Amino acid sequence: MKPKLVVVGAAGRMGKRILSLAVEAGEFDIIAAVERQGHPDIGKDAGLLAAAGPINVELADVFMAAGGSQPPLATGVAGACVAVDFSQPEAAEKTVDYCLENSVALVSGTTGLSSQQREKIKAASEKIPIIYGTNMSVGMNVLFNLVGKVATMLGDEYDIEIVEQHHRFKKDAPSGSALTLAENICKATGRDIDGTLTHGRNGKDALRQKGTIGVHAIRAGDITGIHSVIFGTLGETVTLNHTANSRDTFARGALRAAKWLVGKEPALYSMADVLGI
């Protein structure tokens, strides 16, 4: 039997690709597609919206109310196995509540979460299996794994700069992936991230401070996602780079994670667990 899948943020750029690729793969039974209240496409076939053909699942704007006092958002959704959420931070808590109330595994790729929202996900993982990741790309998660090792091998004499590039519509800056790269470097090198990051530079006296990590956000056009980590010292530069050529790389990674997560014990997992790295 195919795992029953709920897609949250289903009419967004990522949500549509997740839906389309899930239909194409044929490995899930898509039983619900959720969007924000007031979205103009509520009630339309989610498959048609994703250019995947009709799937007889209408885009809905409600989760089951607390305690189950209202009907579920779509027929059969109470039997969902896993939800994939690429919505906005303000919607993420509702997704967590729904998954807790219905014992549904959760793959969350929503970025820009507050520390309080991330703590809520962590607490929820004591009761349901959750994968939270700022980037679901397989290649990007390999980069996450590498940057701390490279920083340790190169040593303190190498300055570190992170440059991330995204499309003009991205709300949060720096990207969640850029922050994950910085966190992994800080963890590997014993830095306190709160006092280490320098977000851009400006002014007549903006010399680089030794031990800091520069983080720079570019927003232009339709750039899907480019992350570069620059390690530079006098005489040489080492650059690690990842370029996402389309959103499909994130969508495929999220679906791979969802398939892996079904049936797992409650815990907070990562894409590193999915990939075995």
- Which residues in 128-272 belong to E strands, given as ranges? 129-132, 159-166, 197-199, 213-219, 226-233, 236-243, 267-269
Tell me which residue of 153, 154, 150, 148 sits closest to 188, measured CA to CA.
Answer: 148
Q: Is 166 a catalytic residue?
A: yes
| CB half-sphere exposure, 197, CA atoms < 13 A | 18
Measured CA to CA, the distance from residue 60 to residue 44 in angstroms comes to 9
Tell me the two tokens of residue 134: 């700022």
Q: Is 199 a catalytic residue?
A: no
| CB half-sphere exposure, 205, CA atoms < 13 A | 0
Measured CA to CA, the distance from residue 186 to residue 250 in angstroms comes to 25
Measured CA to CA, the distance from residue 249 to residue 1 in angstroms comes to 26
Catalytic residue, candidates 44, 94, 170, 264: 170
Tell me which residue of 163, 150, 159, 147 sits closest to 232, measured CA to CA.
Answer: 159
Catalytic residue, candidates 4, 16, 166, 216: 166
> DSSP 3-state assignment of 105?
strand
Residue 190, C-beta contacts closer than 8 angstroms, at least 6 positions apart: none
Q: Burial of 202 by CB count in 10 Å (0-12 exposed, 13-18 middle, 19+ buried)? A: exposed
The residues annotated with a catalytic role in the active site are 166, 170
